[in-house]
């Protein structure tokens, strides 16, 4: 059966994805937050704001807010010239992830009145780029380009839509690197560097690329991919560090404390969803399914690598198994928006292996992660309609 034209052109697919994302955001902004688009940054009333941003920012009452509020501050003051550090939870920790805030600052020409909108535009440009690149990856696997729309359901993309979090840039980096690592190595290098400047998890992408080349004894190419971490290291050194609030100490205390077993501990400690009481049981069942799939996905990644130690996706999944060791903390796994975007780095390559074929079951972890986020986003819409 011939699909509609909109599903055959990757640019139409990208536009459709952006439109769907904007429609969800507009529904939330106008039904819950009085039409104030800064509500999507989820700035909490318990954190202070610079005076010039206070008057035009929607503050979520009696809340510490969420991470997007700090990346917004980084976009307004990427070079630390305005003295915004006291308004961060941990300035060094947040400002290390400068890629998306810096793009927003550039797109907004450094003008404070434009940056809130340019940041939103950057998120949607990344959605479009992810759809286009995934479409091309799918075509390389002899699949229909309409599979590019699946980027809209990537956990980090859903987080970018719901909370303006920048992690979807890692998904863009993965797709672009897979496309260009052979023929456009400068672009592939730039995307690895971009991923590392987006979040420290970008080092996982670099480790996978370097590991594969060392396995093949292609030393020069391994050194090239390793050098893509240098811009991030240079940036981290340039911004310095500090302790306490506005610094960065203590942000990783949860790392490594419950290696792998944390998935099962989380399953044994169901969260009580008082805000979503009618759907509480469904959410708890979904939690159990997601945790089980992440544990199984970690084992599957090792199995896939052992069967094909030359595959780029297999090396990426292998490197991402490290998350099951360092990030399987039950406390971290309770956060609806944090763990999906981190473990999407493990589930994403497995899903791409399923797209490549023939083991379609490898897509289950990503499907369940995405479904879990979709349930939360649907819950917010239902709450809005019932208010």
Burial classification of residue 1, based on how many CB atoms lie within 10 Å of its CB (0-12 exposed, 13-18 middle, 19 or more buried):
exposed
Q: For residues 371 and 72, give the distance between their C-alpha atoms in angstroms, rounded to a whole number.
A: 27
Report the SS3 class of residue 65. Answer: strand
Report the SS3 class of residue 343. Answer: helix
Q: For residues 18 and 210, give the distance between their C-alpha atoms in angstroms, rounded to a whole number.
A: 34
pLDDT, tens only, 2-53: 556 666 788 899 999 999 999 999 999 998 999 999 999 999 999 999 999 9
So what's the pLDDT on residue 251? 55
Tokens standing for residue 212: 């594969």
**Beta strand extents in the chain (DSSP E only):** 43-44, 59-60
Report the SS3 class of residue 249. Answer: coil
Tokens standing for residue 243: 């302790």
Report the SS3 class of residue 59. Answer: strand
Per-residue pLDDT of the chain (387 residues; tens, 9 = 90+): 555 666 678 889 999 999 999 999 999 999 899 999 999 999 999 999 999 999 899 999 988 999 999 999 999 999 989 999 999 988 888 999 999 999 999 999 999 999 999 999 999 999 999 999 999 999 999 999 999 999 999 999 999 999 999 999 999 999 999 999 988 999 999 999 999 999 999 999 999 999 999 999 999 999 999 999 999 999 999 988 644 454 444 456 667 678 899 999 999 998 888 776 677 888 889 999 999 999 999 999 999 999 999 999 999 999 999 999 999 999 889 888 899 999 999 999 999 999 998 999 999 999 999 999 998 888 777 776 666
pTM of this structure: 0.94
Helical H runs in the chain?
10-32, 51-54, 68-76, 91-95, 99-107, 112-140, 155-163, 168-180, 185-198, 202-215, 219-227, 230-238, 262-268, 280-307, 312-320, 322-326, 338-356, 364-386
DSSP classification of residue 336: T
Could you tell me if 7 and 13 are in contact, meaning their C-beta atoms sit under 8 angstroms apart? yes
Q: For residues 202 and 197, give the distance between their C-alpha atoms in angstroms, rounded to a whole number.
A: 7
Cβ-based neighbour number of residue 97 at 10 Å = 26
Could you tell me if 166 and 71 are in contact, meaning their C-beta atoms sit under 8 angstroms apart? yes
Could you tell me if 127 and 152 are in contact, meaning their C-beta atoms sit under 8 angstroms apart? yes
Task: Kindly list the domain boundaries of the chain, sorted by start residue.
Answer: 1-251, 254-387
So what's the pLDDT on residue 246? 46
Q: What angle do CA 365, 371, 374 make, to 5 degrees?
A: 145
Report the SS3 class of residue 261. Answer: coil
DSSP classification of residue 244: S
So what's the pLDDT on residue 258? 86
pLDDT, tens only, 109-159: 999 999 999 999 999 999 999 999 999 999 999 999 999 999 999 999 999
């Amino acid at each position: 059966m011939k699909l509609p034209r909109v599903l055959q052109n990757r640019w139409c697919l990208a536009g459709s994805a952006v439109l769907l994302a904007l429609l969800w955001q507009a529904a939330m902004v106008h039904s819950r937050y009085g039409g104030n688009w800064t509500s999507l940054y989820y700035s909490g009333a318990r954190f202070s704001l610079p005076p010039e941003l206070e008057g035009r920012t929607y503050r979520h009452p009696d809340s510490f807010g969420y991470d997007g509020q700090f990346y917004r501050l980084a976009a307004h003051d990427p070079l630390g010239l305005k003295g915004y550090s006291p308004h961060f939870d941990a300035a060094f920790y947040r400002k290390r992830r400068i890629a998306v805030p810096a793009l927003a600052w550039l797109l907004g020409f450094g003008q404070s009145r434009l940056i809130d909108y340019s940041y939103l535009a950057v998120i949607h440009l990344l959605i479009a780029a992810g759809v286009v690149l995934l479409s091309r990856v799918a075509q390389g696997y002899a699949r229909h380009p309409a599979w590019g729309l699946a980027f809209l359901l990537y956990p980090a993309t859903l987080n970018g839509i719901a909370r303006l979090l920048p992690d979807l840039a890692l998904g863009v980096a993965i797709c672009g690197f897979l496309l260009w690592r052979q023929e456009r190595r400068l672009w592939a290098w730039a995307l690895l560097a971009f991923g590392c400047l987006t979040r420290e998890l970008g080092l996982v992408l670099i480790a996978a690329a370097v590991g594969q080349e060392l396995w093949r004894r292609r030393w020069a190419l391994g050194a090239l991919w390793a050098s893509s971490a240098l811009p991030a290291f240079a940036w981290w050194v340039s911004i310095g560090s500090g302790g306490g609030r506005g610094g960065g100490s203590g942000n990783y205390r949860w790392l490594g404390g419950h290696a792998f077993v944390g998935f099962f501990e989380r399953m044994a400690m169901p969260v009580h969803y008082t805000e979503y009481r009618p759907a509480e049981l469904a959410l708890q069942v979904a939690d159990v399914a997601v945790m089980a799939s992440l544990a199984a996905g970690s084992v599957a990644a090792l199995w896939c690598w052992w069967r094909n130690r030359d595959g780029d996706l297999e090396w990426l999944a292998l490197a991402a198994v490290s998350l099951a060791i360092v990030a399987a903390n039950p406390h971290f796994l309770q956060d609806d928006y944090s763990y999906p975007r981190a473990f999407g780095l493990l589930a994403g390559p497995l899903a791409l292996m399923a797209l490549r074929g023939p083991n379609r079951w490898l897509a289950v972890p990503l499907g369940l992660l995405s479904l879990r986020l979709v349930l939360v986003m649907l819950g917010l819409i239902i709450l809005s309609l019932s208010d």
